[in-house]
Amino acid sequence: MNEKTAKNISKFLSLVLRHSPETINLKLDENGWADVEELIEKCSKKGNSLNAELLDYVVENNDKKRFAFNEDKTKIRASQGHSITVELNLNEAEPSEFLYHGTVGKFLENIKKEGLQKMSRQHVHLSKDKETAIKVGGRRGIPQILTVKSGEMFKDGFKFYLSENNVWLTDEVPPKYIQFT
Ligand code: HQG
């Protein structure tokens, strides 16, 4: 499989499984699952060639394991990153002392005032390692890495979730728990 094709399919799946299923008139259930046959059929109608084999390849080899099948592979969903409301039944977990968030300079002033907010997504996204945060911030420009005092937040009662693909998620990070240097 050509890596460019796989990337294009991944981007398209992110669009329809996280943000706009209506683009191809796809229905997601309340837990974010789409029927695999319906997805393949509706993608093809829109001129995107997708079949079970391609879908398997993308789910297996995706760099961030963004998508997951259910047990019998009749359904597929994104493991995190949604802007539409879905109930993922995420696992609550205790984070390490620090987690990291990659952003860019133009957001810092606001983040200092209001903390990290979920913006258009369902959660604030954090990572266990700085390298991942550098990549996330780097999508928008020169990355600025914020250190989140997740251990302290957890002690103070904030909930943390770990997605199937190991992204740390929380509802917000107030400014007092962020180290900006
Ligand atoms: C910023 C990708 C102003 C925040 C990545 C970020 C990630 C604020 C942007 C996943 C703010 C939101 C998520 C505030 C936060 N004022 N700006 N109070 N609070 N921001 O894309 O974390 O490849 O929704 O710093 O790898 O960048 O798609 O979040 O810059 O895991 O799988 O507002 O998306 O994953 O942007 O990225 P996003 P994110 P995928």
**Other Cβ atoms closer than 10 A to 154:** 17
Range 169-181 average pLDDT: 96
Report whether pLDDT(35) > 80: yes
Could you tell me the pLDDT band of residue 124, with boundaries at 50, 70 and 90? very high
- Using a 6 Å cutoff on CB, does residue 178 contact ligand 1? no
Could you tell me the pLDDT band of residue 165, with boundaries at 50, 70 and 90? very high
- Using a 6 Å cutoff on CB, does residue 19 contact ligand 1? no
Q: How far is the CA of 73 from the centre of ligand 1 (A)?
A: 30
Strand runs (DSSP E) across the chain, as ranges? Answer: 34-35, 67-69, 75-78, 91-92, 99-104, 124-126, 143-148, 161-162, 168-170, 178-179
Task: Supply the mean pLDDT for the chain.
Answer: 95
Better-predicted residue by pLDDT, 49 or 179: 179
Could you tell me the pLDDT band of residue 47, with boundaries at 50, 70 and 90? low
Q: How far apart are CA 10 and CA 129, in angstroms?
A: 24
Residue 173 DSSP one-character state: B
Instruction: For this complex, say whether ipTM is above 0.90.
Output: yes
